[in-house]
């Protein structure tokens, strides 16, 4: 039995899939609350801010304080505002991400030739023209970041291409990888999470459905990790995976077995 001070929980594929609450999710959340664990929801969704998850989960009877939510969008906005103040950021991303960046006082430019920083992310309108402009924006040694590495996003009907797919195209034309990913599993994301929780990483449990983001985040930061099989990862994926979770759970409902 382990005494956890805090838990970092993924959302899509762990608590919900699309707009549907996953079976047992409420039971798992109640078990963590009964165990006295501080809770932080951390989504790699780069199109949403913290308020969205309170609104999204409220119909399911789950009360969420926006102060206990991070997304790759909010982490990226906070990081760029702190490390590149006043620098013009060329964004390949959604209008929602654009609004989140602007609310954080990040200066944006639509002119690729004026880019001082480039941020790549999920963009449903991504096109050949966007890729061409990205190539221009990435000339020289301009800092290059990605919100998250998720190649696909789970939805009700299956999966759709995510930020990782768009970043791969940008990397291919620019001939270089991003200088950093700002969402999970980066050190930037881990630091943002621990700053919110004020807990010892060794007494923190990370629960999520992705090995390369959720579990990698916890492993790198010295946290304990639990993979749930309600999202994109199944048991057959584990055999060939380089990233290993400490625990494998059928769903978030089984988290009570770790408490």
The per-residue pLDDT for range 116-166, each reduced to its tens digit, is 999 999 999 999 999 999 999 999 999 999 999 988 876 777 788 999 999
Backbone φ and ψ of 257, nearest 5°: -75, -15
Distance, CA of 36 to CA of 241 (rounded, Å): 32
Q: What is the pLDDT averaged over residues 169-175?
A: 97
% residues pLDDT > 70 (the chain): 99
Q: What is the pLDDT averaged over residues 230-243?
A: 90
Q: Is the pLDDT of residue 1 over 50?
A: no
DSSP label of 247: E
pLDDT band at 212 (very low <50, low <70, confident <90, very high): very high
For residue 62, the tally of other CB atoms under 10 A from its CB is: 18
């Amino acid at each position: 039995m382990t005494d956890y001070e805090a838990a970092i929980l993924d959302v899509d594929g762990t608590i919900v899939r699309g707009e549907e609450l996953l079976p047992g999710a409420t039971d798992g959340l109640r078990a963590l609350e009964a165990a006295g664990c501080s809770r932080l929801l951390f989504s790699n969704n780069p199109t949403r801010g913290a308020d969205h998850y309170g609104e999204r989960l409220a119909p399911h009877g789950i009360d969420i304080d926006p102060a206990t939510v991070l997304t790759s969008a909010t982490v990226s906005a906070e990081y760029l505002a702190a490390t590149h103040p006043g620098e013009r950021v060329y964004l390949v991303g959604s209008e929602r991400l654009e609004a989140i960046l602007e609310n954080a006082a990040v200066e944006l430019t639509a002119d690729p030739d004026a880019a001082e920083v480039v941020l790549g992310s999920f963009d449903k309108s991504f096109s050949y023209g966007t890729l061409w402009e990205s190539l221009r924006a990435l000339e020289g040694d301009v800092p290059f970041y990605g919100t998250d590495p998720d190649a696909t996003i789970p939805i009700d009907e299956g999966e759709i291409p995510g930020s990782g797919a768009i970043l791969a195209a940008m990397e291919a034309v620019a001939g270089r990888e991003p200088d950093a990913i700002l969402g999970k599993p980066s050190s930037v994301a881990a630091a943002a999470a621990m700053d919110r929780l004020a807990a010892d990483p060794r007494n923190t449990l990370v629960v999520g459905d992705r090995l390369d983001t959720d579990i990698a985040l916890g492993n790198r930061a010295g946290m304990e990790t639990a993979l749930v099989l309600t999202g994109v990862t199944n048991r057959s994926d584990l055999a060939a995976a380089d990233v290993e979770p400490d625990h494998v759970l059928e769903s978030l409902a089984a988290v009570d077995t770790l408490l």
